[in-house]
Amino acid sequence: MKTSSQIQPKGSVLLVALLTIAILAVICATSLQITSQNTSTGMQTASWQQALTGTESGVDAAIRALNENGVSGANAWTNWISVSQSGTSVPTTEPSASPSPATGPPDSTHYNYLPSSKLTTSFSNNEGATSVSTWVTIDRAGMLASQDTYGNQWYRVRATGQANVSGPARVSNNRLDSDLRNTIALKFNRKGGNNLGPTRTVEVILAPASNGTGILLKNWLVMSGGGTIHGDVGMLNSSGSDLHSTYLYGNLFYSGTTAPKNTTDVQGNIVTPYSATITAPTDPTWASGTYTSVSAGNPGTLAAGNGSNPTYYKVSGDLTVSGGNTLLIQKHDNSSGNKIYIWVTGKLTTSGSGYIQQDSNVQVTWYVDGDITVSGDSYQNTSGRASYLTINGIGTNNKFTDSGSGTFTGTVNAPGYDATVSGSGAYTGSLIANDLTVSGGASFNQSGGGGSLGNYAFASWFEDNSDPTHKDVNGYYIIY
């Protein structure tokens, strides 16, 4: 009898199959873990960038409020809050809202604060950040207007944006991961907030940036007689311009099909082409009850308010200060933050020996819907600073006239007005107009700016990644 010695491989296929399944399961689990971590890392990176976008929108909101302040007054600061400040410190985490609305740029003892509830963007997706919120502060940071060449105030803006996420936004809970995240400034809730999500803080210093010229015209410039200009002139359409070989101690910028004539005594450079943006001012939109109504004529006295509570007046009709009469724009106190806004729906005129006297501590912003006629003697800006007087000419086909033998010191923003500077006096400040005629012995001296004549530029910009409370794995503080 012959016996078979062949071994039957029963059950080996099952073992191989189970082993293969186990290996595939490990591979799938590893791949899933890697994919999950990569997804979380991607969400972290995305929310990190979203937080920066929110921060930048906060800086934009601050610049917009400062730029609109000279146009819409207190309305430029809707939703902003005025908070008392000790020294130059500002909060590092979002403060509680207070009931004190801001009505203008901060003075030296306050900062303006925009809550995150007023600057939040929500997203409809279920992955990543569900919203981005930003809170902002503006303060003077101890900077003085006297430190600026033209006496304009610089400001500090600090904006913190947070990307709020609904689920886990960490790659892991490992301490090394936390240290890595902190090292690259990805620490979550570093600046407060109720939800998980990265925060980023940017601090910028804003410097007033003039339009680059003392005189900015939509059209032509004509000079005659002994008139002179000390400053730069920019013209968007120079056709019809003639300097008649009078002196311009500055640069002449122009665009247009016809070059200015008789420019032999321009002491600076003559440059073409030239471009600039002119934004026409508009009437304010003060709500009823926020201003005091004044009848046409001469009100006699208009009182300013302090920096956090300026006064608003609306003159229905022409404001005329005739011979032998005076309009006093009176200070509120001896601080440098006295402010007043005056809206004249008709003409603003001083004539004869009548004059307007503006106290030295008062900053005045006018809105005039009709012709503007003043002279050096008839408008006395006793501060001697052009930035303390801003006259906005509203509309088109109106005239601005400065005549006489005194010095008019101020800034005029009237891009729809035909301007004339004549007589033997001087205009000190800056001017935006449709066109300009300088005649007689009149002189124009570039100075000041401010109000709606300028914008704000970044003098500095840096991201604050500091966290003095955080330690690394060795127990050392990490301070940037």
The pLDDT tens digits for 334-370 are 877 799 999 999 999 998 788 999 999 899 999 999 9
In single-letter form, the type of residue at position 194 comes to N
Domain check: are 220 and 150 in the same one?
Answer: no
For the record, the structure tokens of 57 come out as 């929108």
Q: Which of 129-143, 170-184, 422-436 has the lowest mean pLDDT?
A: 170-184
For the record, the structure tokens of 379 come out as 């408008």
Identify whether 179 is part of a domain: yes
- Tell me phi and psi for residue 437, to 5 degrees: -120, 125
Identify whether 62 is part of a domain: yes
Domain check: are 221 and 205 in the same one?
Answer: no
Classify 73 as helix, strand or coil: helix
Using the structure block, give the residue that is written with the tokens 């803080």. Answer: 201
pLDDT class of 200 with cuts at 50, 70, 90: confident
pLDDT tens readout for residues 152-170: 788 999 999 888 876 554 4
The candidate with the shortest Cα–Cα distance to 79, out of 96, 98, 101, 54, is 101
Domain check: are 71 and 154 in the same one?
Answer: yes
Rounded Cα gap, residues 304 and 405, in angstroms: 28
pLDDT at 197: 72
The tally of CA atoms less than 13 A away on the side-chain side of residue 348 is 27
Domain check: are 278 and 374 in the same one?
Answer: yes
Domain check: are 233 and 340 in the same one?
Answer: yes
Domain check: are 185 and 307 in the same one?
Answer: no
Domain check: are 63 and 75 in the same one?
Answer: yes
Domain check: are 299 and 239 in the same one?
Answer: yes
Domain check: are 220 and 88 in the same one?
Answer: no
Answer with the residue of higher pLDDT: 83 or 406: 83
Domain check: are 285 and 190 in the same one?
Answer: no
| 3 state SS for 334-356 | CCCCEEEEEEECCCEEECCCCEE
How many domains are there within the chain? 2
Is the full-model pTM beyond 0.75? no
Rounded Cα gap, residues 439 and 430, in angstroms: 17
The candidate with the shortest Cα–Cα distance to 452, out of 367, 400, 392, is 392
Domain check: are 244 and 351 in the same one?
Answer: yes
Query: What Rg do the C-alpha atoms of the chain give, in angstroms?
Result: 32
pLDDT tens readout for residues 214-231: 899 999 999 988 889 988
Domain check: are 218 and 204 in the same one?
Answer: no
Residue 163 sits in which domain range? 40-209+458-464
Compute CA distances 424 → 89, 199, 444, whole Å: 50, 60, 11
Summary mean pLDDT of the chain:
82
